[in-house]
Amino acid sequence: EAQVTQNPRYLITVTGKKLTVTCSQNMNHEYMSWYRQDPGLGLRQIYYSMNVEVTDKGDVPEGYKVSRKEKRNFPLILESPSPNQTSLYFCASSNQGWTGREQYFGPGTRLTVT
Amino acid sequence: RKEVEQDPGPFNVPEGATVAFNCTYSNSASQSFFWYRQDCRKEPKLLMSVYSSGNEDGRFTAQLNRASQYISLLIRDSKLSDSATYLCVVNEKTSYDKVIFGPGTSLSVIP
């Protein structure tokens, strides 16, 4: 089954404790992206990757890191989480770029930072 | 002005009603347009792409007006299963492929 998976689905952590949210897709997509979704603000792009070893900032990259060592995986790293990073996070993938292409989303990771 | 704006909602309509959602975007250079559907606490899923000539998929009709920078989604004969949040999505080709989501409009179809 073609899908994007994220882990963990739910996470409660404390300020400053490094964490990683994993994202994996089995569709051989080149493009992957991370979004956060907050009430009233919609989904906002954090980072995206056009291919292996190619990553770039989206609209809200502060406080986040990513890596793309393999085509299928695109982990999101919070080196020192803060309460304002409490949010619902989605990973997405697409074939050959976003423009005109459908994005496939993972099920989401609900993060709470206390 | 926000890059992509949508009707604030929520829309509460009876089964069988016709409902229309509107979306405006600020960048005239925007290239691709979509409507996504998001069920409560679930991931967004593509509902339909929006083409300049307008397009229809069953009970759903999407239209694009580039001159007015306006996108619409019409749902006819609403079903209970149409209850969801509808997201307007715009792609811009700037220095990278930028994807902008609208805040969404919530729809509840009532028996």
B23 touches chain A (CB under 8 A): no
Nearest to B97 among A43, A98, A102 (CB): A98
First to last CA, chain B: 37
Q: Determine the average pLDDT of the residues in A5-11.
A: 97
Tell me if A45 and B99 make a contact (CB, 8 A cut-off): yes
* Residue A28 phi, psi dihedral angles, 5° rounding: 60, 30
For A45, the closest chain B residue by CA position comes to: B99
- Given a cut of 60, whether residue B99 has pLDDT beyond it is yes
- Given a cut of 90, whether residue B94 has pLDDT beyond it is no
* Residue B61 phi, psi dihedral angles, 5° rounding: -130, 130
Per-residue pLDDT of A34-48, as tens digits, reads 999 998 788 999 999
Q: Are A4 and A106 in contact (CB under 8 A)?
A: yes
Residue-averaged pLDDT of chain B: 91
Q: What pLDDT, on the 0 to 100 scale, is given for residue B52?
A: 84
| Range from A59-63, A86-90, A107-111, B26-30 carrying the lowest mean pLDDT | B26-30
SS3 state at A113: strand
Compute the C-alpha angle A10/A16/A19, nearest 5°: 40
- Given a cut of 90, whether residue B53 has pLDDT beyond it is no
Beta bridge partners of B110: B14
Best of A98, A102, A104, A111 to disrupt the B interface by mutation (most B CBs within 10 Å)? A98
What band does B96 get if pLDDT is binned at 50, 70 and 90? Answer: low
Element (H, E) at A15: none
- Strand segments, DSSP code E, in chain B are 4-6, 11-14, 19-25, 32-38, 45-50, 55-57, 60-65, 70-75, 84-93, 97-101, 105-110
Residue scoring higher pLDDT (B31 or A23): A23
Cα–Cα distance, B85 to B107 (Å, whole number):
6
Residue-averaged pLDDT of chain A: 92
Cα–Cα distance, A90 to B45 (Å, whole number):
12
Per-residue pLDDT of A63-98, as tens digits, reads 999 999 999 999 999 999 999 999 999 999 988 655
Residue scoring higher pLDDT (A97 or B28): B28
- Given a cut of 90, whether residue A52 has pLDDT beyond it is yes
Cα–Cα distance, B12 to B4 (Å, whole number):
23
Per-residue pLDDT of B67-83, as tens digits, reads 999 999 999 999 999 99
Q: What pLDDT, on the 0 to 100 scale, is given for residue B29?
A: 83
A41 touches chain B (CB under 8 A): yes
